[in-house]
Structure 1
């Protein structure tokens, strides 16, 4: 079974995936395989343009976890959407050196559930697990993801409401 780990940049995807890899799971980071699908750069948004349709069509299914901002666009059996309180996310992205505009864009995307909404459009409700990573260790997040992966805890999403953080100045 292949389980995707998706979410807004800065929510903890890579860190949690690395913890799962340390536990013996096979993990593929989208950043390691995306280069053939890059079609250019959008200078207005300071981001790469990715052919996600082609990437999804060509992606080879495997047992384990695929991690990245576009994981919900791949043919996963289950999907985990990592979430992080938008003010905490903004601070994390600032510490990484993101521009104010990119921090605002990602903070607002998180506040408005963009990754979750995209995931709900692609997957059945019993295939989606939304996990709030705010204040949790990577080990605790990996524990919850493992339990979902093994079917020990049910799918669950739609309980977080961070809309009050949308449009708040950085």
Structure 2
């Protein structure tokens, strides 16, 4: 069974994936495989353009976790959407050197549930787990993800509401 770890940049996907790998799970980071699918850069949004359809068509599923901002576009059995309160997200992205415009774009995407909505459009409800990583350690997040992966806790999503953060500068 393959499980996607997706979410807005800065929500903790890579850190949690590294914890899962440390525990013996196979983990593939999209950043390690995306280069053949890169189609240039969008200078206006300061982001790479990726042929996600081709990547999904050519991706070979495996048992374990695939981590990345658009892992939910790959053929997975389950999907975990990591979430983070937008003010905490802004602090993380600022520490990474993101521009104020890019921070604002990602805060709004998080507040508007963009990754969750895309996931819900692609998967059945029983395949999705939304995890609020705010204030949680990577180990605690990995514990919950492992339980969902093994079917020990049910699907759960749609209860996080950060709409009050839309358009709010941090």
| TM score, norm. by length of structure 2 | 0.99
Q: Could you list the runs of 4 or more consecutive aligned residues of structure 1 that deviate by over 3 angstroms after TM superposition?
A: none
1:45-95 deviation per Cα after TM superposition (whole angstroms, max 9, x unaligned): 000000000000000000000000010000000000000000000011001
- Classify the secondary structure of the residue corresponding to 2:88: helix
RMSD: 0.4
Q: 1:36, 1:55 → 2: CA distance?
A: 9
Aligned residue in 1 for 2:20: 20
Q: 1:16, 1:31 → 2: CA distance?
A: 15
Q: For 1:4-153, list aligned pairs within 5 A.
A: 4-153=4-153
Q: 1:58, 1:101 → 2: CA distance?
A: 33
Q: 2:61, 2:83 → 1: CA distance?
A: 25
Q: 2:113, 2:69 → 1: CA distance?
A: 13
**Which 5+ residue runs of structure 2 have no aligned equivalent?**
none
Q: CA deviation at 1:14?
A: 0.1
- Classify the secondary structure of the residue corresponding to 1:20: helix
Aligned residue in 2 for 1:168: 168
User: How many pairs were matched up?
Assistant: 170
Aligned residue in 2 for 1:3: 3
- Classify the secondary structure of the residue corresponding to 1:69: coil
1:8-55 deviation per Cα after TM superposition (whole angstroms, max 9, x unaligned): 000000000000000000000000000000000000000000000000
Q: 1:61, 1:72 → 2: CA distance?
A: 13
Q: CA deviation at 1:169?
A: 1.8
- Classify the secondary structure of the residue corresponding to 2:49: strand
1:90-139 deviation per Cα after TM superposition (whole angstroms, max 9, x unaligned): 01100110000000000000000000000000000000000000000000
